[in-house]
Chain A
Amino acid sequence: MPTSSGESQFFSEFLDDFFAESEEHLALARRILLSLEEAPDEPGLAQIDELFRAFHSLKGLAGMVGVGEIELLSHELEALLRALRMGDADLSDEMLGALIGGVRLLEQCLVARKTGAAAPPVEATIRALADMTEGSRSAPTTPTAPGGAEPAKIAAALAQGMRVWRIVFTPSASLAERGVHVNSIRERLLALGELLRAAPQVSPGGMLTFDFVLASAAPERAFDGWAADGLAVAPYTQPAAPSAPAASPAPPASPAPPIPAGTVVRVDLERLDDLMRMVGDLVIANARLEEQIAQAAPLLPSADARALYDLVGAFQRQTRSLRAGVMRTRLVPIGESFGRIQFMARDLARDLGRQLAVVIQGEHTEIDKFLVDWLMDPLMHLVRNALSHGLEPTQERVSLGKPSAGRLTLRAAADGEHVVVTVADDGRGIDIGRVAARARAHGLLAEGEELAPDHILDILCAPGFSTRDQADRVSGRGVGMDVVANAVHELRGALALETVAGQGTTFTLRLPLTLAIMDALLVAVADQCFAIPLSAIGEIISLEPGQITPLERNELITHRGAPLPLVRIAQRFQIAGALHHGYACVVGEGGGAAALVFDRALGKREIVVRPLNDPLVAQPYLAGATELGDGRVVLLLDVAALLRPASAARES
């Protein structure tokens, strides 16, 4: 937005609210369109009404902040729905497609505005929508035609004997120096009468101007000399009516339901981040206090020491509940992301000419707002994969005796400190033979080496690996599962894959609920200390001599009647002087479980995780680092990465 500072201030105050509210209306529109698509034969009038209102509100919002392309596009969508409401048209498949396309374009426009990118071209869509609308009107010609000035208000003002003026203010640096800026102009106008409209407008040249409509009883000479202040004053004329129905007002929509009284507060995510950081600092201060008390305790009378311990214990409990409280404020239901993904999936299925049934489960599961934003891309990618690689074309499905519509399941569930999100399809499953062949071609798999099932995911996630020779529109270009794997890894989560030939593929993402603070077990290996996320640990066992069975390059123990491979931290990290029979913690699940060996446990701690993302120190087996409050830094292990088959790990 090329603006000078004063105006951009005025402008950005509106924009955040505009984005947030627009998102809400779009989410509603998406929901309704999805339900219409499920049952296209019987669109309820209520749904059409709601949809109409969503577009109408969007148009109004966009008009207020002068986002022309969104205003025009919503206007056309609204007109199409008006025709539907009046019974001038029936909801055809084509029309539904056009509405869905329109909503997607609106999304893109919003994103472009948010990121300051160039707006996507909307003219073609607007024309197509206009053609579709009954009475095929031509599209409005001037993209900055002022809409949104309330004709009723203007009529009322005229009836009261006032005159209505349109004033355009073009700010400039020299005017600002003289104290003439949009706020002073507003004051000046308000002194003369009532402002019916005030909207920033961006001219095609990128200039920002402000468009005011003023109803005033003041005589024309009140405006004498205003041109010198960058103002153009003209009697207001109604813009050429962009739509016929606007001239003959449509029957008023049933009033929008009142917004529930203010129980919701919108908070900037950054403020919550700040809070989380402060809580993190508090956790560290807490740990230091505890340590100091432990050092001082022997010097104190025991009653005093106990009182101090009690106090610090209470402080710790309070800090914990504060942390839980702050975390709760950041949680949002995952449902909206699912809705967005579902929307995209249907759109894509339409493009591919396939039938699709989307099943959504656990949409009320709450996850951190930050995670939601991060998850979007990987989930979209998995869904695109499922549609383009997983689900068979309709014909093929029918001949296989499967239901003609492919099934895509999005599921979310909370699991203690984690949230588990799955994307499943009932398609053809991953062709292991083909993946193996491609892996050999890429040099990821030795000739003659078999592809072990638990190694498939590593291969799929190798950078640049794709089983499609040409990137089609659907799977994007040259990016593949490695993007998903990286995103999950950045979030310190785990990715798992299950696939059955002919029956489908399921990807499971397991993510920590919060990124900043966690409970960890501190362990010693020789003279080094490491932290292991407590949530990854099943139990801690002591290793006895004679319990360990060596097997080629591996070691096994029997635990609860099942063999369990040992993973020695000392061996993985080439640390000399570690115990051979220390302790181990059982990590991982089912067939992927292992015992992670260390010398001894030093205790459980609540830690504040610091990312380790500088390329000098970023390592796949490290989830980050943490400070212990005494200046020492300890590495936090990424258990999932350590458990990868030894063949994939670095061994010297």
Chain B
Amino acid sequence: MSEYILCELAGATYAIPSIAVRYVEMIEQITPVPNAPPAVEGIVLSRGQVIPALSLRARFGFAPQPHTLRTRLVVVASGERVVGLIVDTAREFARIDAAAISPPPAAISGLSGSYLEGVATLGQRLALLLRLDEVLKITDSLAPDAGPDEGERDHGILQPTEER
């Protein structure tokens, strides 16, 4: 029995482990970051911290959509990182029994396979369980082409500097 935050994205329901979710808030201002991966909308100031805002629509290859009053920023912590995920909306909280979770169908190939933990049935609908570390991973397809002088530094997960 684990707890999840449910988000809507392009008509589907995604579930994020609630233990990783710090809070959900509305989006105010986003400052774009030039040359960042296309799915990164920019940085936002959230509760005194400057964090990246990642559009899950773009990350999963859906068409962009202007932000509305229902758009939410789901702020998640993964390891040392804190990142805001932009979703169409996020309003529900669900307890999902491990028995209700099945592994991702083998037919799902390509990208989506790696960030899906599994599929859960919630009454009449399906919820796709996300693997945060995979969602936040910068894959080569996500990152812009690096110039010659900044090789692998921007790819793999950088060690964040120690806050002291």
Contacts and interface: CB of A to CB of B under 8 A. Distances in A.
Whether both chains belong to one complex is answered with: yes
Interface of A: 269-270, 273, 370, 444, 458, 462-463, 486, 490, 528, 572-575, 610-622, 625, 627, 631-635, 644, 647-651
B39 to A, nearest CB: 8
B149 A635 contact: no
A648 B52 contact: no
Contacts of A269: 164
Interface stretch (B60-68, B110-118, B151-159): B151-159
A650 B37 CA distance: 13
Contacts, number: 104
Residue among B31, B40, B49 with the highest chain A CB neighbour number at 10 A: B31
Contact of B54 (A616, A619, A633): A616
Contacts of A270: 164
Interface in B1-41: 28-29, 31-37, 40
B123 interface: no
Q: B interface, by DSSP: helix, strand, loop or mixed?
A: loop
B43 interface: yes
B83 A625 contact: no
B31 A634 contact: yes
5 contacts: A444-B148, A613-B158, A614-B82, A616-B40, A635-B43
B33 to A, nearest CB: 5
A612 B43 contact: yes
A615 B139 CA distance: 11
Nearest to A618: B158
A574 B136 CA distance: 25
Given A616-B37, A618-B158, A619-B33, A625 B50 contact: yes
Contact of B138 (A462, A486, A615, A650): A615
Contacts of B151: 462-463
B45 A611 contact: no
Interface residues of B, number: 43
Contacts of A621: 35
A616 B45 CA distance: 15
A514 B79 CA distance: 28
B115 to A, nearest CB: 15
A613 B160 contact: yes
Interface in B122-162: 136, 138, 144-158, 160-161
Q: A interface, by DSSP: helix, strand, loop or mixed?
A: loop
B32 A273 contact: no
Contacts of B37: 616
A370 B164 contact: yes
B35 A573 contact: yes
Nearest to A465: B151
Contact of B43 (A486, A633, A651): A633
Given A463-B152, A633-B44, 19 more contacts: A458-B149, A462-B149, A490-B161, A611-B160, A611-B163, A615-B155, A615-B156, A616-B52, A616-B83, A616-B138, A617-B36, A619-B36, A631-B29, A632-B29, A633-B45, A648-B147, A648-B148, A650-B145, A650-B147
B146 A635 contact: no
Nearest to B144: A650
Given A572-B34, A633-B45, A614 B81 contact: yes
B51 to A, nearest CB: 7
A575 B34 contact: yes
A648 B31 CA distance: 25
B48 to A, nearest CB: 8
A614 B83 contact: yes
A632 B29 CA distance: 6
A615 B145 contact: no
A463 B158 CA distance: 13
Nearest to A369: B164
B31 A632 contact: yes
Given A616-B54, A625-B50, A635 B31 contact: yes
A631 B28 contact: yes
